Amino acid sequence: MTFTNPRSSEYPVEPLFLDRWSPRAFDGSAVPPSDLLTILDAARWAPSAFNSQPWRFVYAVKGTPDFDKLLGLLNDFNKSWASDAGALVFLLSKTHLLPPGAQDEVPSYSHSLDAGAAWGSAALQASLLGYAAHGMTGIHLDKVHEVLGVPDGYRAELAFAIGKRGDKAKLPEGLQARETPSPRKPLAEVAFEGTFKA
Amino acid sequence: MTFTNPRSSEYPVEPLFLDRWSPRAFDGSAVPPSDLLTILDAARWAPSAFNSQPWRFVYAVKGTPDFDKLLGLLNDFNKSWASDAGALVFLLSKTHLLPPGAQDEVPSYSHSLDAGAAWGSAALQASLLGYAAHGMTGIHLDKVHEVLGVPDGYRAELAFAIGKRGDKAKLPEGLQARETPSPRKPLAEVAFEGTFKA
């Protein structure tokens, strides 16, 4: 699927950041496990507090019973389009860490932030391999731990669909119009020198 | 500063993920504002829930009064090495968002995660420009809002130092030994097919 990217940055940002976006139309083909694992491998090189690496991934490839299990954890809206993804991944984060030299774990201030850096890397590596990834927090959070066998001490952060882009004509009409890279607030609205500007 | 990267991935990950790491020895030169803004521009293209873009950055360039203000928010350990960085950035996240079509903001489940994706992009763009970035949660969290003028409704997520790498000989001996790209857990310890494995 080719398309014209409507995005432009204000400064000379590397194209990989502008080229990554979150479609909903996938072509239904399975992601080969080696590609999926390359995407998750990239994620684990993200930075984290004390290099604690709080991220954990539970994944399933299209066409396996596990895929249907993970799909069942999405809400109905996300299920409607993510069923054509080539893989699904749930991202969890370990809520406590062991500081260097300490005897006991303490709550991590940044486990969600750290997991987000890993998720961002996964999405970028997916894009660089010719896939698209789409994150979702519209999931049955109350069922994730039981269905995926996640122990206490891990927060379900998000799920993401990965796949090859498909024809947007198969999406409902309202979603077809949104099947394009989204814009961003101007940089001046999110980056401030010295003092926050509300 | 050249060096041999001791990292190797298990799958053919794009080199940019392995090349990004978090040094503490910086050369003391200021980051030109255009480069700093390129780094923050890259960050804002990260994905977020409902494209809510909860990330906010407060930055200062070495040699300005704002730099000393931001440096004063770091704990003593981080202050000791980050004083030679070329720029400092504080990352905050908006804790509430307005869902499409809603009248009122609701708590965001993923504001920290979303901010983490933006932070990860910033660190990668810095690395691609020949800079290094080093994240820190060792900051005076109780003072960030007052000193930076941050309103309620934003969480201080982390600070990060950006700069050109410097000679590690100027670091204390214990830190010199750690001035190398950190390893990671094996992929099999963080990525599981279908079911979480503790």
Phi and psi angles of residue B49, each rounded to the nearest 5 degrees, phi first:
-60, 125
Q: How confident is the model at residue B16 (pLDDT cuts 50, 70, 90)?
A: very high
Search chain A and give the residue with CA nearest B136.
Answer: A49
Please report whether residue B1 resides in a domain.
Answer: no
A150 CA: distance to closest CA in chain B (Å): 5
Segment B125-141 mean pLDDT: 98
**Residue B2's pLDDT is what?**
62
Please report whether residue A5 resides in a domain.
Answer: no
Q: Is this complex scored with an ipTM above 0.90?
A: yes
What 3-state class would DSSP assign to A160?
A: strand
Which of A190, A195, A197 to probe the B interface (max B CBs under 10 A)?
A: A190
Q: How many residues does chain B have?
A: 198
Please report whether residue B178 resides in a domain.
Answer: no
Q: What is the CATH number of the domain that holds B51?
A: 3.40.109.10
Please report whether residue B185 resides in a domain.
Answer: no
Interface contact flag, A116 B121, Cβ < 8 Å: no
pTM over 0.95? The answer is yes
Chain B positions in Cβ-Cβ contact with residue A37 (cut-off 8 Å)? 10-11, 187, 191
**Residue B27's pLDDT is what?**
97
Segment A50-75 mean pLDDT: 98
A103 CA: distance to closest CA in chain B (Å): 19
DSSP A153: T
Compute how many other C-beta atoms are within 10 angstroms of the C-beta atom of residue A5.
11
CA contacts within 13 A on the Cβ side of B83 = 10
Please report whether residue A105 resides in a domain.
Answer: yes
What are B82-93's pLDDT values in tens digits?
A: 999 999 999 999
- How many separate domains does chain A show? 1
What are A89-124's pLDDT values in tens digits?
A: 999 999 999 999 999 999 999 999 999 999 999 999
Q: What is the DSSP string of B56-106?
A: EEEEEETTSHHHHHHHTTB-HHHHHHHTTSSEEEEEEEESEE--TT-SS-E
**Range name among A3-12, A147-156, B19-28 with the lowest pLDDT average:** A3-12
Please report whether residue B156 resides in a domain.
Answer: yes
Are A176 and A169 contacting, i.e. CB atoms less than 8 angstroms apart? yes
**Residue A175's pLDDT is what?**
93
Please report whether residue A60 resides in a domain.
Answer: yes
Mean pLDDT computed over every residue of chain B: 97
Percentage of chain A with pLDDT > 70?
A: 98
Chain A positions in Cβ-Cβ contact with residue B12 (cut-off 8 Å)? 38
**Residue A4's pLDDT is what?**
81
Interface contact flag, A17 B117, Cβ < 8 Å: no
Enumerate residues 6+ apart whose C-beta is below 8 A from B192: A56, A57, A58, A59
Segment B67-72 mean pLDDT: 98
Chain B positions in Cβ-Cβ contact with residue A112 (cut-off 8 Å)? 110, 112-113, 116
Instruction: Number of A to B CB contacts under 8 A, please give it.
Output: 237
What are B77-127's pLDDT values in tens digits?
A: 999 999 999 999 999 999 999 999 999 999 999 999 999 999 999 999 999
Which residue range forms the structural domain that includes residue B54? 15-168
Please report whether residue B175 resides in a domain.
Answer: no
Segment B10-37 mean pLDDT: 98
Compute how many other C-beta atoms are within 10 angstroms of the C-beta atom of residue B48.
26
**Residue A198's pLDDT is what?**
83
Of B53, B151, B192, Cβ closest to residue A185? B53
